[in-house]
Structure 1
């Protein structure tokens, strides 16, 4: 049977990428540090993916197992040696931590086989696979890097599926939205995976997704939090929040249409479709889940700051994006570690220095001044 090794046995890994491999006839070895999940994968060898619809349709995912990368390093290396695909859905910040083990697996693999392996990081991060490749290559000598040539391929990808927090204690079953998109940048003739779309240039797809889906999701979460809403769909039921989300996505849309020559009417339909997905009450998606990790989401190349800086360069309005950034700076949810750090940073260093440190925005930047204006008004 064809083999896929997937780092990240969480809800996204099981409910999206791992499920697609299983449905495409692969045995999926999930690699994670969550002992309870790994043990249950090995005991049950299957789980259900349930769609967030009125009918609650489900599909059983089979041919799965698990390995703990902290205690079963040799077994993970053996799995990498025989895999056809190696994927991740573990969070961009975790990629440097798993890279050394992947590097060991690749170094051992090329000693025993010339079979091709395709490595794809399925993360909400531009060029995530390039980043992972860089972390892996830091661990390899020049000879081994050369031996990977023509045998191990690294492809960037864009992924899109909403997987909310689950009430599935003790169960591997995962609730997911019906919609998904997995786009991989390659012109190689790679083995087909159900639901995977190959494109020669990923940039329009990943920026369209990141600056519509991820930007929109974040804006709803942070504004919803400030409006004391519990879930994403409840936030969108508030006309003021809905209006602000559309205003923000119109700004990111203006940038995308100008940069990638997208059809303006088609992109507006795409925005409507994305907001329609967010309104799905079956997801019951908490604003605190979607808004978590604000330090990462306020990064210079992430979903809020990057479109604002690109809009400024292109001479396009960014005032609603500035308001979105201000709302993220006000996210003070005490159960989120990054939110606590962010508020402590603002208190210690002030708004301007925090924006410089977290987002790479200079104090004299017109974006920074616009953010400050909104921040004071909203506070």
Structure 2
């Protein structure tokens, strides 16, 4: 932990796993700011942290055990309180960096005068020597642009003044995390709740290497993240695709195949013959090979050696028994994960685009479809009608949709005819 604070304020919106277990944790652990402020709309959580003198706890899953840190103090404010809203705007006006880590980009404009975009718009009216840089951590590759547009519209400043005062960056956050709410699991695993008397515990993995886009700055301006483990990239799109088609896709694959075997935890796959090799092969030989064809050489990650190192690091993280990721959590919302642009069908499309065969991803998509509609495991029904309904809003070209559907149908046939404990071989 750094001994000298570097000054300025960090303000975070939301206080879930990523805000508490990444941004706020690292800001405090690195002494990167003079003051850390959190904006949270749960009045009960705000009161619990305040009653604990601004201290909170985060549980960190290492390969060999769980570490619990008590962190703080922070100033925690509720934007639904008029008094706190005024304080939030004042703190934002003096903040060096801020971060949004809320359930979706739709939250940006929700909440009236206490909404994120309104608070940032009010803060942007103050003159500054350097722009406030806002990290957007929501699962949308245009989050920064969406928030910038909302704040710009609310602030109604001349474009030059707006750009001098505030800037927004996208992020690629590959840190696995969760909020544990079951009292028996919290107790059995020896976790500390976020604050005394609060009903949930934050559990995050140790990994904290985060990629961020470069902000729009005034002429001659320069910027580096205040977080030592954050790295900037001019173009985040290749890395967003690597996370979606690689990390997210293989994570989902493991969950749906584990569910077929009746397993409840992701780390259970360690004891399934061929499972780890299957996931590794999907990551390197299928999605990885396609990503290297598309982006080969633009970064160390997109080289055979770089992607192989990535796979060797990532698979054990996914199956870390101390993270204890539940199959049901990873497998939830299969309809979204089978979406035209998402981690399963989207990865199969990448394979078609690059000429890379993806039998493991086809099987994973079939398993996700069977999770969505269990009757498909024991019937001869074709998957086309369900897939077409999932993809309808994207209006895909008929030929490409038919090609992806055919791949998933082949995976479904294998799922129907091969015993579950032989699917990995």
Aligned length: 367
Q: 1:64 corresponds to which residue?
A: 74
1:15 is displaced (CA, Å) by: 0.9
Mapped contact 1:212–1:274 kept (Cα < 8 A)? no
The question of 1:301 aligning with 2:335 is answered no
Q: 1:123 aligns with which of 130, 135, 138?
A: 138
CA displacement, residues 306-326 of structure 1 (integer Å, 9 cap, x when unaligned): 322222112222333232222
> Post-superposition shift, 1:117?
0.5
What SS does the aligned partner of 1:164 have? strand
Q: Which residue of 1 aligns with 2:39?
A: 31
Q: Which has the larger radius of gyration?
A: 2
Q: Does 1:180 align with 2:189?
A: no
Structure 2 contact 12–99 (Cα < 8 Å) conserved: yes
| TM-aligned CA deviation for residue 205 of structure 1 | 2.9
Match of 1:311 in 2: 351
Q: Against the structure 1 CA distance between its residues 55 and 229, is the aligned structure 2 distance closer, same or farther, given a 3 Å change threshold?
A: closer
Gaps spanning 5+ residues in structure 2: where?
A: 1-6, 181-185, 187-191, 216-221, 297-301, 375-380, 417-425
Residues 63-96 of structure 1 deviation map (CA, whole Å, 9 limit, x = unaligned): 3132333445444434433322221222335444
Does residue 50 of structure 1 match 2:55? no
TM-score normalized by the length of structure 2? 0.76
Is the CA contact 1:5–1:30 (under 8 Å) kept in the aligned structure 2? yes
- Among candidates 68, 93, 104, match of residue 118 of structure 2: 104
Task: Quote the Cα distance in structure 2 between the aligned partners of 1:237 and 1:359.
Answer: 39
1:270 is aligned to 310
- Pick one of 214, 217, 222 that aligns with 2:248: 214
The TM-score, its normalising length taken from structure 1, stands at 0.84
Cα distance in structure 1, aligned partners of 2:128 and 2:282: 49
Pick closer, same or farther for the CA change 1:20–1:361 going to 2, 3 Å.
Answer: same
The Cα shift of 1:295 comes to 3.6
**In structure 2, what is the equivalent of residue 378 of structure 1?**
415
Tell me, what secondary structure is at the counterpart of 1:302?
coil
Q: CA deviation at 1:39?
A: 1.7
Superposed CA RMSD: 3.1
Q: Which residue of 1 aligns with 2:419?
A: none
Aligned-pair CA distance for 1:10: 1.0
In 2, Cα distance between equivalents of 1:136 and 1:331? 40
Q: Is there any run of 5+ residues in structure 1 with no aligned partner, and where?
A: 335-345
Name the counterpart of 1:338.
none
Asked whether the equivalents of residues 340 and 391 of structure 2 are also in contact (C-alpha less than 8 Å), the reply is no
